[in-house]
Chain A
Amino acid sequence: MDASTSEEPPPGSTDFAGWKRAAELGRLDHLPLEAIFAALQDIRFNIDFGLRNILAKALSDRTYKLLRRQVGRNHPNGGADIIDRAHVQVFEALAQPASADAKGYRQAFVARLMFRLKDAIAKEARERRIPDETAAPRPRASQRQAFTADEHSAAEAGDADNDDAAPSKSAWNPELLDGVRAAEQRIDIDRFLETNVPDERKRLAFRLFMDELPFKSKKSASIAKALDIDEKTAREWIEEVQALLKEKIGDLK
């Protein structure tokens, strides 16, 4: 990312004159964010409001742009709440120089920012999911017909012998996989997932499914183990996303 793009080294964090000159020369867009954060933290009390606000504006704009690029409009309020949360945390950290965040921002600004953003997104997803936690949505009957009756009975019985319940095994309806492959060619799967599957756990399950991971396995990693869910749930989640995909394909026909 653009943490360090300037050839000329930035002024020291307490070099008031150096930062004033950098601002006058319009260099703030090119100086490392770590350096701007450190300067704002170290000299903000002892500089005139003009320079302080210029530094704050540079830090604010560049931080916001980085955040906006990572957050889709599919989140509530277009993702603005998540971005605002991560954005304000940067400025709150200025007042806590001994905190891990403040040290992290001074050391590797973008890495710390992205970490905090991940946390904000995860928190938002958790809060959004709480009302649904007690009653996990089950796929509609029409969505479930893609699986064979045999597969269902195996899954619902918690078939312990089904060591590698992979999509490519007999339990999987090949037509459905063809449907996915066809969908891959027709639509942007990633954009589809982002806009049609709000539950990040189901998106992750589907991405692992696309990595050709088995639903369950005693020998290797599986979707169920990675997500700490049972095989039946893993299958239902994938089935749900697949049904949505099929609908999408139908819409495109």
Chain B
Amino acid sequence: MTARPQTPDRDEVLFAFHEACPRPTAEQIIDWTSRYPQFANDIRAHAAVARDWDARRELSAEEPSEIELARAYSRAINALYEADAKAAASPAATQTFQDILAARGTNARALAQEVGISRGVIADLIGGRMHAPVGRRFLDAVCRALAITHAVFSGAIEIALGRPQPVLAKAASTPTVNARSYEEVIRESGMSEDQIRYWLDED
């Protein structure tokens, strides 16, 4: 087992102080600055703010004006657009479906369940046995479930197709991979006719 790093992170220490001492006393300030001398100035600065806030509890709360709210919203939207642009510009093709699933703490079975589709379809997608393009509903559902962009999905499916995983073959035969179209995968998935129509956007 790997030992956890002993060096405490500044934010971790300050957040713990913030949670433990909403109204820091002198004893608490001395205790925390002694335990974390490298963050002593930050701890004192946070303590000063905490005591100011404690004092403000008695003061009437101030409501922001509509103009302030509108400006804040405008900045928030800009920050969001910038975040999206950053994500779009990121090297999407470096993330595999396996990476994405692992980062979300999920797996193919759970993904199939969340999307509401046959496990075989998801297995073919992840295993590089399904050609793009995929159906719009399928694309949206998978992206939503994994919280990824269409660009990230496209990158991941390209990687998967580049290194396909064969379905477990019989011992006597050589494993082969025949990537199929999305439509073929859906039609041969064993799902009901209604489900097939739904996933092929035919309903």
Binding site for B on A (CB under 8 A): 13-14, 16, 40-46, 52-53, 56-57, 59-61, 63-65, 68-70, 72-73, 80, 83-84, 87-88, 90-92, 94-95, 97-98, 100, 104, 111-112, 114-115, 118-119, 121-122, 125-126, 188, 190-191, 193-194, 200-201, 203-204, 207-208, 211, 213, 221-223, 225-228
Closest Cβ neighbor of A40 among chain B residues? B80
Identify which of A14, A104, A114 contacts B147 (C-beta below 8 A): A14
Do B84 and A44 touch (CB < 8 A)?
yes
Q: Is the interface of B mostly helix, strand, loop or mixed?
A: helix
Identify which of A16, A92, A118, A228 contacts B144 (C-beta below 8 A): A16
Q: Is B145 an interface residue (CB 8 A)?
A: yes
Q: Distance (Å) between the CB of B21 and the closest chain A CB?
A: 11
Do B26 and A64 touch (CB < 8 A)?
no
Q: Distance (Å) between the CB of B122 and the closest chain A CB?
A: 16
Known: A65-B64, A122-B49, A190-B55. Contact between A115 and B14, CB under 8 A?
yes
Do A203 and B51 touch (CB < 8 A)?
yes
Specify which chain B residues have a CB less than 8 angstroms from the CB of A118 in the assembled complex: 14, 18, 46, 49-50
Do B75 and A14 touch (CB < 8 A)?
no
Q: State the CA gap A211–B24 with chains docked (Å).
A: 12
* Partner-contacting stretch, out of B27-35, B155-163, B173-181, B185-193: B27-35
17 of the cross-chain contacts (CB-CB < 8 Å) are: A16-B144, A41-B147, A43-B144, A45-B143, A45-B147, A46-B143, A65-B64, A68-B62, A68-B63, A87-B76, A91-B83, A188-B59, A203-B52, A204-B51, A208-B26, A221-B27, A226-B29
Specify which chain A residues have a CB less than 8 angstroms from the CB of B72 in the assembled complex: 60-61, 63-64, 83-84, 87
